[in-house]
Amino acid sequence: MNRFFRFYIYFILGFSCHAIEAQTNLIDSLINNFEFEKAHHYISQNYEDESEKNLKFLQLYSEKKQLDSAYYYFYKIDTSSFKTLQKADYYFYQAQIEEASNNEDIALPLYKKAQVLYQKENDVRKFNQINYEFYATITSQKQYDYPKQGYLDQFIVIAKRNDFPNQLANGYLEKALQHMNPLDKDSVSFYFKKASKNAFKVRDPLLISRVYAFKGLYHTEILQQLDSADHYYQKESEWLSKRNTDYRGLYNYINKANVERKRGNTSKAISLLLKADSIPHTLYRKNNKIFLYRLLMKDYESIGKPLEALKYSKLAALYRDSINVAAQNVNLTRFQANEKEKQILLEQQQKEQNLNIAYGLGGASILMGFIGFLTFKNAKKKQRIAEQEKLLEKRAKETLLKDQEIHIINAMMEGQEKERQRLAGDLHDSIGATLSAAKLQFDHLYKQNKDASHTKELFSKTKTLLEEAYQEVRSMAHLKNSGVIAKNGLLPAVERLAKNASTKSLVFEVQSFGLDQRLDNQKEIALFRMIQELVTNIIKHSEATEASISLTQREDILSVIIEDNGKGFNSRKIKREEGLGLNSIEKRIEHWDGSMEIDSTPGNGTNVIIEIPI
């Protein structure tokens, strides 16, 4: 993944997720639709409380990325009368403008403060949005060596649990980005499909155009399929036309210019970049201009126009210097805001001191009441501690029961493994040997009586039936004994399973990428049994004609994708029955800290994707 591709992925993703998150009130709706002038007018006319009005202006200008104005209203806010949810919004918007100023080390603690308050107020959507902010901010900064995957995983889990399709679309686009390499096309396609499904569910033009933009970048930078990239960028343009978003049109032109540059049409790329430069916009204006002018500088250099290249080099430097001046102004405003916050804190402390004097003059009755309150509070504290101890004990028992359940499943699988070997041996050595002997005797009898015309047809049919029975028993022995093959390696076992399970009406195909080392023997056998269970389900229920098994190893993650073109089913209504079916597969994957996704709709086949750490 080259630097150009990475820049646009994170830049588009980082801003767009702020802009498309669904809200309830009119102000948020106007801001999300980029109708900033209408939002400004509405705030001016409909908010009497100055602090609340300034908070809304802070939201407006933080979303608009006009940092000077955002800090101006931030400085004017008095938070002493704010309720919990307003304080949460205050910290959130402050974090946004700090992040836009490249002060990620300041933004992250502010996001954390906001998240704690959102959780207290049970605002699940905004609480979860900050999980994404953590992930996106840390991912875009190489100097931060913090764990980040947990934020994305929690973001997707909460969005799925609460049916937030906007957040799910963004989460699945991030998952697609993580898998973007030429050898992992199946995973990228899977997550693109999930993202597109959620984006079209809410019919948000910006979100849908963003999905197409990701697909265009993927086909440009990873697959090098430029005609497909043209198609996706055109679809992006069509959806962008439904919203007044100049900055997104600017990126669309720059992406199209990149395609033409890769084709060798540098002059056409320059023409598209000049169109991008003509678009009026305010969001990220200075950074956009710097990046755009550097591209023009390099393109003019490549076609031998040094004067034009020098012109855009100077323009880029001019905007870069202007950012430095703006940063100084922002720092001064931030200092004033800190001083204001200290003043508010001193006033609050003075109020508390006056209240303490009043309580002291209240007399013995108030003192006794206070002592009684402390006694009651202490009793409640002891009660909470006892309840917490009971909860910890309950969780310890649940953990023990879960471990016991895993051990039981392991024992059952080991028993089944031995039983499979015994049955395979019996089929092959006993019934198979008997059928083989009967077949030889019948062949001899057939040759001795082949001149008897009235029995020839009967002999021929009986011989055919014996041959079919022998081959069926032999095939059963091989299929039941596949688990033993897993001891020689997972991939050979799966290939043998696919070969044995394939028929004229159903063909299994096996693909592998990067699987160049053995896993733990027990884990290989357990994985094989999971795949065997899913293959059996395809044979029994899917009515498919084609199926594929894909094994991909990337760094410390093993991905298994099993697809079929069968009749499919409603995956939301699937029943996790007890036993060694899907329920035991999920429990074993959870025990390995892995994940399993089932994507299926009636008439569209079934996709199962399993990811486990190795």
**Residue for token pair 């919990």:** 84
Tens of pLDDT, residue by residue over 215-254, are 998 999 899 999 999 999 999 888 888 766 666 778 888 8
**Residue for token pair 């089944």:** 416
- The amino acid present at 60, given as its one-letter code, is L
Q: How many residues does the chain have?
A: 614
Q: What is the mean pLDDT of residues 147-157?
A: 86
| pLDDT at 411 (0 to 100) | 55
- The amino acid present at 345, given as its one-letter code, is L
Residue 441 has phi, psi (to 5 degrees) of -65, -40
Question: Of 60, 87, 81, whose CA–CA distance to 72 is shortest?
Answer: 60
Looking at the predicted structure, is the pLDDT value of residue 450 above 60? no
Looking at the predicted structure, is the pLDDT value of residue 68 above 60? yes
Q: Which residues pair with 510 in a beta bridge?
A: 549
**Residue for token pair 């400004």:** 40
- Which of left, alpha, beta for 607 (phi over 0: left; psi -120 to 50: alpha)? beta
Q: Which tops the pLDDT comparison, 410 or 179?
A: 179
Looking at the predicted structure, is the pLDDT value of residue 4 above 80? no
| Structure letter (DSSP) for residue 413 | H
- Which of left, alpha, beta for 203 (phi over 0: left; psi -120 to 50: alpha)? left
User: What confidence category does residue 578 fall into, taking pLDDT thresholds of 50, 70 and 90?
Assistant: very low
Tens of pLDDT, residue by residue over 367-396, are 566 666 677 777 777 777 777 777 776 666
- The amino acid present at 290, given as its one-letter code, is I
Q: What is the mean pLDDT of residues 79-90?
A: 90
Count of CB atoms situated within 10 Å of the CB of 510: 18
Tens of pLDDT, residue by residue over 469-486, are 666 566 555 555 554 454
Least confident of 76-85, 243-252, 422-431, 553-562: 422-431
Residue 595 has phi, psi (to 5 degrees) of -145, 155
**Residue for token pair 């991912």:** 139
User: What confidence category does residue 323 fall into, taking pLDDT thresholds of 50, 70 and 90?
Assistant: low
Q: Which tops the pLDDT comparison, 280 or 196?
A: 196
| pLDDT at 336 (0 to 100) | 47
Looking at the predicted structure, is the pLDDT value of residue 327 above 60? no
Give domain limits for the chain.
382-480, 488-613
Do residues 427 and 473 make contact, with C-beta atoms less than 8 angstroms apart? yes
Q: 434-438 long-range CB contacts below 8 Å, 24 or more apart?
A: 435/466, 435/469, 435/470, 435/473, 436/470, 438/466
| pLDDT at 579 (0 to 100) | 40
Strand order in the sheet with 595-600: 507-513, 546-554, 557-564, 606-613, 595-600
CATH superfamily of 488-613: Histidine kinase-like ATPase, C-terminal domain (3.30.565.10)
List the alpha helices (DSSP H) in 162-184: 165-178
| pLDDT at 422 (0 to 100) | 56
**Residue for token pair 């970048």:** 217
Least confident of 321-330, 349-358, 504-513: 321-330
| pLDDT at 405 (0 to 100) | 56
Q: What is the CA radius of gyration of the chain?
A: 33
Tens of pLDDT, residue by residue over 89-119, are 999 998 888 877 767 778 888 998 999 999 9
User: What confidence category does residue 2 fall into, taking pLDDT thresholds of 50, 70 and 90?
Assistant: very low
Token pair listed for 413: 């699988």
pTM of the model: 0.56
| pLDDT at 298 (0 to 100) | 92
> Rounded to the nearest 10 degrees, what angle do helices 246-263 and 266-277 cross at?
170
Q: What is the mean pLDDT of residues 262-269?
A: 92
DSSP 269-313: HHHHHHHHHTS---TTHHHHHHHHHHHHHHHHHHTT-HHHHHHHH
Least confident of 20-24, 242-246, 357-361, 506-510: 20-24
Measured CA to CA, the distance from residue 271 to residue 266 in angstroms comes to 9
Q: Who's near 53: CB < 8 A, 6+ residues apart?
A: 43, 44, 47
Tens of pLDDT, residue by residue over 361-373, are 555 566 566 666 6
594-611 burial code (b ≥16 CB/10 A, e <16): bebbbbbeeeebbbbbbb
Looking at the predicted structure, is the pLDDT value of residue 277 above 80? yes
Do residues 176 and 185 make contact, with C-beta atoms less than 8 angstroms apart? no
Looking at the predicted structure, is the pLDDT value of residue 315 above 80? yes
Q: What is the mean pLDDT of residues 270-288?
A: 78
Measured CA to CA, the distance from residue 243 to residue 245 in angstroms comes to 6
| pLDDT at 228 (0 to 100) | 93
Half-sphere exposure of 44 toward its Cβ, with a 13 Å CA cutoff?
6
Least confident of 74-78, 289-293, 441-445: 441-445
Instruction: Give the three-state DSSP class for 583.
Output: helix
Looking at the predicted structure, is the pLDDT value of residue 165 above 90? yes
Measured CA to CA, the distance from residue 152 to residue 163 in angstroms comes to 16
Looking at the predicted structure, is the pLDDT value of residue 34 above 90? no
Measured CA to CA, the distance from residue 90 to residue 86 in angstroms comes to 6
Measured CA to CA, the distance from residue 170 to residue 531 in angstroms comes to 30
- Which of left, alpha, beta for 77 (phi over 0: left; psi -120 to 50: alpha)? beta
Least confident of 156-165, 167-176, 257-266, 425-434: 425-434
Count of CB atoms situated within 10 Å of the CB of 137: 22
Q: Who's near 523: CB < 8 A, 6+ residues apart?
A: 592, 614
| pLDDT at 270 (0 to 100) | 92
Q: Which tops the pLDDT comparison, 344 or 95?
A: 95
514-526 burial code (b ≥16 CB/10 A, e <16): eeeeebeeebbbb
Do residues 30 and 39 make contact, with C-beta atoms less than 8 angstroms apart? yes
| Structure letter (DSSP) for residue 592 | T
Do residues 294 and 316 make contact, with C-beta atoms less than 8 angstroms apart? yes
Tens of pLDDT, residue by residue over 400-435, are 555 555 555 565 556 555 666 656 555 555 565 556
Looking at the predicted structure, is the pLDDT value of residue 436 above 70? no
| pLDDT at 324 (0 to 100) | 54
| Structure letter (DSSP) for residue 427 | I
DSSP 555-578: TTEEEEEEEE-S----GGG----S
| pLDDT at 562 (0 to 100) | 93
Q: Who's near 55: CB < 8 A, 6+ residues apart?
A: 73, 77, 82, 86, 89, 90, 93
| pLDDT at 575 (0 to 100) | 55
| pLDDT at 19 (0 to 100) | 39
| pLDDT at 368 (0 to 100) | 66
Looking at the chain, the number of H-run helices and the number of E-run strands are: 24, 5
Do residues 69 and 61 make contact, with C-beta atoms less than 8 angstroms apart? yes
Measured CA to CA, the distance from residue 194 to residue 260 in angstroms comes to 30
Measured CA to CA, the distance from residue 442 to residue 462 in angstroms comes to 9
Which whole-number Å values give the CA distances from 57 to 64, 65, 86, 487, in the listed order?
Answer: 10, 12, 13, 66
| Structure letter (DSSP) for residue 482 | H
